[in-house]
């Protein structure tokens, strides 16, 4: 009776500690105005584009299209876009990341509790492994996918021997959510389900000394039914991915062992400040792993270890998953088609599976207590550093976003960034995340993501030059519509002027744009197109020239481009020639 009461008391303590840690893990998101991750502003830009398309904004509909329904890596964008219908971008981002934190922690706990009833505070290590290097880089969809993966695996383990139609539907939905969050994590999920499925039948065969083929194929067919919708979608999407070259990564070549031992996967901003703390997590995991292996060796020598025992069986199968993913980490290339940072993605999966393996084992009370104190102290130390840097970037982002109020709605602008530092690399994209203004420069628009460039987007000019000279997005020659870039924003204006590396853009600004004088901004320079009157004058002259009009009419009939567009383009060409002669 005393032992039972102690167990109930321990379970109650476990629940209290879990929710206290969950609240504590959410707090770092709310000590700064903005999040300030590398790719975060690109996600906010995509969400704003989606919102404008949904609201019927004709300008955005000319430039962008929602990608095909089989495209994965989109769940975070849809959540952000829905939130953006009634919330500002920064609040939408915080709600998305709060959802991620809650999903990851509760999903991990749900999975661990489904595998084993053993109470072990090792599973609380999921909290310091929440704010990973990949999340700080803004890999929101990838990070969000793990919460769905844990729930899907937990649900499969709980119901794998009783997959009725309703349970198949729920499992299928969880697998689909994982796929629509990130195809890599979806692949990890299928691999794990496959290994768990095989392990179930191998252990059943060893225990019963017979193999029931009918039972095997019934269970296999049910699993296939659950994953088939996502498999069909993934087939189309992977075919699209394979058409793109291997992604580039700043970590193309690096010391994998050093990256692991220093636990750089947990470094958010500055390694020199954070590695003294992150490295301690490696030694903790190594110590817990050694302790677990020692306990297995002792049980084997005492002949107290059996593969068909459900607890020991689960230890072995999750140990196998850990070994598989660590092997992939050490031997895989770091770049694949359309994807970089592959090793970081694999490493976090290997570490998550290691945490699962450690969490389903019995630990002495003193070890649990040490784990609890270790997590609390080191997490607080690391989060304090993260908050300090986020608050620094708050000032930078606030200054950058202030430029939005000077750009009229439905304007087309080009935003370029010359700030130094890897975190700020995409900060120019914050301009236009809360306003219906269209940035023609973005690395976030792709057929592989939720929004792509329209094949019939209008021919766009920066001054008299094709916009693709500055954006890398092609202007299709014979397309209807001609749009002038109204504004240019230079983020990091001092670096832009001092660096003098982007001479073509400097020349375009000096010839066709004028700095807006009433903008008080230390980081961003705003330039407005100042040749519209000249364009109208040249257009008027061209319209009065019968020979020119006849030539353009013939071209219009041949290409289908409206005469008005051809006159505008001819005017721009004439101004370009005149400026080059001057």
pLDDT, one tens digit per residue, over 100-112 is: 999 999 999 999 9
In a domain, 288, yes or no: yes
- The answer on pLDDT for 201 being more than 80 is yes
pLDDT digits (tens, 9 = 90+) for 531-563: 999 999 999 999 989 999 999 999 999 999 999
* pLDDT band, very low/low/confident/very high, at 367 (cuts 50, 70, 90): confident
Give bridge partners of residue 483 from the DSSP assignment: 460
Distance separating alpha carbons of residues 165 and 173, to the nearest angstrom: 12
* Structure tokens belonging to residue 563: 């005469």
For 536, 545, 551, the CA distances from 548, given in Å and listed in that order, are 16, 5, 5
CA-wise closest residue to 320 among 206, 203, 195: 195
- pLDDT the model gives residue 254: 64
Is 138 strand, coil or helix? Answer: coil
Residue 397 falls within a domain, yes or no? no
DSSP string for residues in 190-204 = HHHHHHHHHHHHHHH
Question: In the predicted model, what is the mean pLDDT of residues 575-581?
Answer: 84
- Calculate mean pLDDT across residues 7-32: 84
For the chain, percent of residues with pLDDT exceeding 90 = 66
Residue 250's pLDDT is 47
* Model confidence at 64: pLDDT above 90: yes
User: What is the phi/psi pair of residue 235, to 5°?
Assistant: -60, -45
Asked whether 538 and 575 are in contact (CB, 8 A), the reply is yes
At 140, the pLDDT band (50, 70, 90 cuts) reads very high
The mean pLDDT of 399-423, rounded to a whole number, is 93
Provide the pLDDT confidence category of residue 4 given band limits of 50, 70 and 90: low
Show the tokens assigned to 57.
């904004």
Domain stops at, among 343, 365, 391? 391
How many structural domains is the chain composed of?
2
The span from the CA of 61 to the CA of 50, in Å, is: 10
In a domain, 471, yes or no: no
Structure tokens at 486: 């109204």
What is the pairing mode between strands 482-484 and 459-462? parallel
pLDDT of residue 336: 60
Rounded Cα–Cα distance for residues 195 and 170 (Å): 21
Q: pLDDT value at position 395?
A: 94
Parallel, antiparallel or unpaired: strands 487-491 and 412-417: parallel
Inside any domain, residue 454: no
- If pLDDT is split at 50, 70 and 90, which confidence band does 215 have? confident
**pLDDT higher for 47 or 11?**
47
Q: Is the pLDDT of residue 156 over 90?
A: yes
Please give the Cα distance from 469 to 461 (Å, whole number): 9
- Pairing relationship of beta strands 482-484 and 451-453 according to DSSP bridges: unpaired
Indicate the residue among 338, 370, 391 that finishes a domain.
391
**Same domain for 330 and 182?**
yes
Does residue 5 have a pLDDT over 60?
no
Render 286-307 in DSSP notation, one character per residue: HHHHHHHHHHHHHHHHTT---T
Q: Which tokens go with 42?
A: 């690109």
Is 234 part of a structural domain of the chain? yes
Distance from C-alpha of 64 to C-alpha of 200, rounded to nearest angstrom: 48
Beta bridge partners of 453: 64
Q: How far is 224 from 83, CA to CA, in rounded Å? A: 34
Q: Which of 350, 370, 391 is the last residue of a domain?
A: 391
pLDDT at 517 over 60: yes
Alpha helices in 268-364 (DSSP H): 271-301, 310-331, 342-359
**Which domain range does residue 577 map to?**
531-582
Q: Is the pLDDT score of 22 beyond 90?
A: yes
Q: Is residue 400 part of a domain?
A: no
Question: Which one is predicted more confidently, 355 or 304?
Answer: 355
pLDDT reading at 516 higher than 80: yes
pTM of the model: 0.91
Highest mean pLDDT out of 207-216, 356-365, 429-438:
429-438
411 phi and psi angles, rounded to 5 deg: -85, 150
Does 573 score more than 80 pLDDT? yes
Q: Give the number of other Cβ atoms within 10 Å of residue 304's Cβ.
A: 10
User: So what's the pLDDT on residue 251?
Assistant: 47
Q: Please tell me the predicted confidence (pLDDT) of residue 305.
A: 56
* Residue recorded with tokens 């000249």: 534
Higher pLDDT, 91 or 304: 91
Is 1's pLDDT higher than 60?
no
Give the orientation angle of helix 342-359 with respect to helix 140-159, to 10 degrees. 40
Asked if the structure places residue 437 within a domain, the reply is: no
Strand bridging mode 465-466 / 459-462: antiparallel
Q: Are 434 and 48 in contact (CB under 8 A)?
A: yes
Chain centroid to CA 294: how far? 39
In a domain, 66, yes or no: yes
Instruction: Count Cβ atoms below 10 Å from residue 544 Cβ, excluding itself.
Output: 9
* pLDDT tens digits along 236-256: 999 988 887 655 554 444 688
Phi, psi of 207 (to 5 degrees): -70, -40
Average pLDDT of the segment spanning 34-57: 94
Give the pLDDT confidence score for residue 303 in this predicted structure. Answer: 64
Cα–Cα distance measured from residue 240 to residue 401, given in angstroms and rounded to the nearest whole number: 35
Task: Give percent of the chain above pLDDT 70.
Answer: 93
**Residue 49 binned pLDDT confidence (cut-offs 50, 70, 90):** very high
Mean of the per-residue pLDDT values of the chain: 89
Compute the average pLDDT of residues 309-327.
Answer: 83
């Amino acid at each position: 009776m005393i032992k039972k009461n102690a167990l109930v008391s321990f379970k109650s303590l476990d629940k209290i500690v879990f929710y206290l840690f969950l609240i504590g893990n959410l707090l770092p998101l709310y000590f700064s105005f903005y999040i300030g991750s590398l790719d975060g502003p690109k996600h906010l830009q995509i969400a704003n584009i989606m919102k404008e398309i949904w609201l019927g904004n004709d300008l955005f509909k000319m430039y962008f299209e929602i990608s095909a329904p089989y495209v994965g890596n989109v769940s975070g964008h849809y959540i952000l876009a829905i939130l953006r219908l009634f919330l500002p971008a920064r609040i939408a981002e915080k709600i998305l990341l709060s959802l991620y934190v809650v999903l990851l922690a509760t999903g991990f706990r749900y999975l661990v509790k489904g595998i084993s009833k053993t109470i072990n505070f090792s599973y609380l290590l999921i909290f310091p492994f929440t704010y990973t290097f990949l999340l700080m880089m803004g890999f929101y969809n990838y990070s969000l996918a793990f919460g769905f993966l844990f729930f899907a695996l937990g649900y499969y383990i709980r119901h794998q021997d009783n997959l009725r139609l309703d349970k198949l539907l729920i499992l299928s939905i969880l697998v689909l959510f994982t796929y629509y969050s990130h195809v890599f994590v979806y692949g990890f999920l299928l691999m794990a389900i496959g290994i768990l499925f095989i392990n179930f039948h191998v252990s059943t065969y060893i225990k019963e000394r017979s193999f029931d083929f009918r039972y095997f194929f019934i269970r296999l067919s049910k699993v296939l039914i659950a994953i088939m919708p996502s498999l069909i979608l993934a087939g189309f999407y992977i075919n699209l991915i394979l058409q793109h070259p291997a992604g580039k990564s700043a970590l193309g070549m690096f010391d994998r062992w050093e990256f692991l031992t220093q636990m750089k996967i947990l470094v958010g901003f500055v390694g020199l400040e954070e590695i003294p703390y992150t490295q301690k997590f490696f030694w903790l995991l190594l110590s817990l792993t050694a302790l677990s292996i020692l306990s297995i060796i002792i049980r084997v020598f005492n002949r107290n270890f059996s593969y068909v025992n459900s607890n020991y069986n689960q230890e072995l199968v999750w140990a196998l998953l850990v070994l598989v993913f660590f092997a992939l980490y050490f031997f895989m290339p770091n770049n694949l088609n359309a994807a970089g940072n592959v090793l970081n993605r694999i490493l976090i999966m290997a570490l998550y599976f290691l945490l699962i393996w450690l969490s389903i084992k019995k630990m002495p009370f003193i070890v649990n207590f040490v784990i609890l104190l270790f997590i609390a102290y080191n997490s607080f130390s690391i989060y304090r550093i993260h908050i300090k840097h986020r608050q620094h970037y708050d000032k930078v982002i606030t200054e950058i976003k202030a430029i939005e109020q000077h750009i009229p709605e439905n304007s087309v602008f080009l935003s370029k960034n010359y700030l130094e530092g890897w975190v700020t690399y995409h900060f120019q994209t914050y301009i236009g995340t809360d306003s219906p203004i269209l940035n023609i420069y973005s690395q976030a628009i792709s057929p592989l993501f939720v929004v792509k460039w329209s094949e019939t987007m209008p021919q766009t000019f920066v001054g008299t030059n094709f916009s693709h000279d500055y954006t890398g997005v092609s202007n299709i020659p014979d397309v209807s519509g001609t749009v002038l870039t109204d504004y240019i924003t230079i983020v990091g204006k001092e670096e832009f002027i001092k660096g003098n590396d982007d001479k073509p853009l400097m020349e375009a600004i000096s010839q066709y744009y004028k700095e807006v004088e009433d903008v008080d901004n230390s980081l961003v320079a705003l330039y407005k197109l100042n040749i519209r009157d000249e364009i109208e004058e040249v257009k008027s002259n061209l319209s009065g020239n019968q020979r020119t009009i006849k030539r353009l009419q013939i071209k219009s009939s041949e290409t289908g481009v409206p005469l008005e567009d051809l006159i505008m383009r001819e005017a721009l060409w004439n101004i370009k020639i005149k400026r080059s002669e001057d």
